[in-house]
Amino acid sequence: MHLAPKKKLVALTIACCAIVGGSLLWGQGHGATPTGSPEEQLRAVRSSLADMDKSQGRVDRMYGKAKRQKDIIKTSCIHEKLVRIKNYIALAREQFSRYLMEKASGETSASVPLRQKISMFKERVDEMVVQAEQCAGEAIAVTDRVQVTETIDPKIPQEDPTQPVGNLWVLSRPPEGSPYF
């Protein structure tokens, strides 16, 4: 089977993300205990999945904007982050569906709790969003107007000590020293 170089790169990226994601999940959360009731945990997991989808949509819009601007550097950088985000979301959804299948069959896994797994994926997605914003140059954009308030210390005198007081003598320019210059 012959794959185009671009497809090979995408397949390799997906495989690497799956391996790295799985190893991170196993290494960071092994043996942790869940907190809250199962309903609360499922609600939190669904909320995290929805947040990750919103983040993907946001990066998708950045990618579309970079493509319209025909900026190759921004486009490739944001595309890389978008691929990673999609992979993390796919892994999170896979973990969620695996959990639902285990719950339906009656067997429960004693390894890493689902909420912790999904929160780790959400953290990775949030990191990719920040990096995508840096690629697009949106991380430095200011969204709020700066508001300046000025207070004057009442101990400061009203009159300005740098201004002269009274009548000013205005001196005229002295005559030229030589008519030739």
- Residue 91 CB-density burial (10 A; 0-12 exposed, 13-18 middle, 19+ buried): buried
* Residue type at position 108: T
Average pLDDT score over residue span 137-150: 68
Q: What is the dihedral of CA 21, 26, 27, 31, to 10 degrees?
A: 150
Q: What is the pLDDT of residues 73-117, one digit of tens each?
A: 888 888 898 899 999 999 888 888 888 888 778 776 655 677 888
pLDDT of 138 reads: 65
- What pLDDT score was predicted for residue 4? 63
> Which pLDDT value is given to residue 87?
92
- Across 41-50, 104-113, 162-171, the highest mean pLDDT is recorded for 41-50
Residue 16 clears pLDDT 70, i.e. is over it: no
Q: What does the pLDDT read at residue 29?
A: 46
Say yes or no to pLDDT of 15 above 70: no
The answer to whether 52 touches 44, Cβ cutoff 8 Å, is no
In the chain, domain spans: 5-29+36-136
Q: What angle do helix axes 5-29 and 72-105 make, rounded to 10 degrees?
A: 50
* Interior angle at CA 20, CA 66 and CA 17, nearest 5: 35
* pLDDT tens-digit readout, 148-160: 888 888 888 777 7
CA 135 vs CA 28, 53, 76, 78, 130: distances in Å: 29, 20, 9, 6, 9
Cite the DSSP H helix spans in the chain. 5-29, 38-69, 72-105, 114-136
Q: Which of 26, 130, 32 is nearest to 78 (CA)?
A: 130
Label residue 44 by pLDDT band (50, 70, 90). confident
